[in-house]
Structure 1
């Protein structure tokens, strides 16, 4: 009777060492089984990287579902996400700067045109043409000043969009997950119960094999017909 008890203890040690980290893998269509969450057939399996536990789940349940699982991203993803936040901040600041430059440019042109307009009323012919040329020159120079912030915004927008694509790609390639505390505890309890039942069945089988054959024949023999 000592061996099954020892086996049960060994199983408990395995469960105690089981860490909350699961790896996602795909199986063939012929091997699909019901999803743990919704019961629909699935080809995605999450298996524990340190213990005897695995189950099927739909891919949709692995996304934005912290009550069930939390993705465990690597350093590459964290670095890419940090870069994305940095670009987002730079883009927002550049847009604010661009808006200020545009408003300042429009205001300056309006003031200059108004000032030049008063001068044109007192001047004639050639002087008026020269003033108009001056305004066009100043407008061209001012528009060049506005173009610089606009170019910066466009470049930052492109970099930001490329970084979003990179982060999305790294998310889709992730295969490591951590179960929520409640889910993981329920998985550990389930495995413990399964191993208790398995150990009990093993004890019964060993007890059966150690029983004397004659005792078994006597125990399970049919009653004889009484003699008349």
Structure 2
């Protein structure tokens, strides 16, 4: 029974942290096989070490992610453009109304200036929130999630798995009464 050399990085609760397989420090990061046959705890620092493991990069997923981000960016720009065009039309209609009423022009200028300042502040706040959300999403997804262990460490995992299977078989054999030889019944 061989394990594939594909390990997925998972996080566990800090209360469930156990000793790292390499340095024995408490760690909440776990590497697990896709079929969940084997797992072990490892520090974040070791995941960045190329001597221990190397990330498996899924180029198709990265391309799909970039395409999705571009589509979202295009939609956002389109909405901003439509909003600006709408505001421009509103301002033009306001100017026409202002021409009709010279007395109300002074009042509307004062209110439109304050409204435009308020709109600019709201737009800038919304942009900052969008940027902070994007940065937090990028930080979460920057770390690779799938790894391949280096040959030495992978072989060590296979050896441990084999030793555990052998120990289990030996325990089962010792519990079986037919395993031991019987006492001779014939006289010598």
TM-score for both structures, normalised by structure 2: 0.51
Name which one, 1 or 2, has greater alpha-carbon Rg: 1
Residue of 57, 62, 73 corresponding to 2:57: 73
Quote how far apart the aligned CAs of 1:192 are: 0.3
CA contact (8 A) 1:77 1:167 kept: no
Sort the Cα spacing of 1:198 and 1:209 in 2 relative to 1 into closer, same or farther, 3 A.
Answer: same
**Structure 1, residues 131-155: CA drift from partner, whole Å, max 9, x if none?**
xxxxxxxxxxxxxxxxxxxxxxxxx
**Structure 1, residues 82-109: CA drift from partner, whole Å, max 9, x if none?**
xxxxxxxxxxxxxxxxxxxxxxxxxxxx
**Structure 1, residues 152-184: CA drift from partner, whole Å, max 9, x if none?**
xxxxxxxxxxxxx89876432x21110001110
The gaps in structure 1 that reach 5 residues or longer are 1-14, 82-164, 216-228
**Structure 1, residues 111-141: CA drift from partner, whole Å, max 9, x if none?**
xxxxxxxxxxxxxxxxxxxxxxxxxxxxxxx
Looking at secondary structure, tell me which structure has more helix per residue.
Answer: 1
- What is the rounded CA distance, in whole Å, between the counterparts of 2:40 and 2:12 in structure 1? 12
Residue of 46, 55, 64 corresponding to 1:61: 46
Report what 2:146 is aligned to.
176
> Is 1:31 aligned with 2:48?
no
Report what 2:172 is aligned to.
202
Alignment of 1:122-141 (within 5 A): none
CA RMSD of aligned residues (A): 2.9
CA contact (8 A) 1:36 1:57 kept: yes
Report what 1:187 is aligned to.
157
- What is the rounded CA distance, in whole Å, between the counterparts of 1:57 and 1:78 in structure 2? 29
Aligned residues: 113
TM-score for both structures, normalised by structure 1: 0.43
Sort the Cα spacing of 1:205 and 1:21 in 2 relative to 1 into closer, same or farther, 3 A.
Answer: same
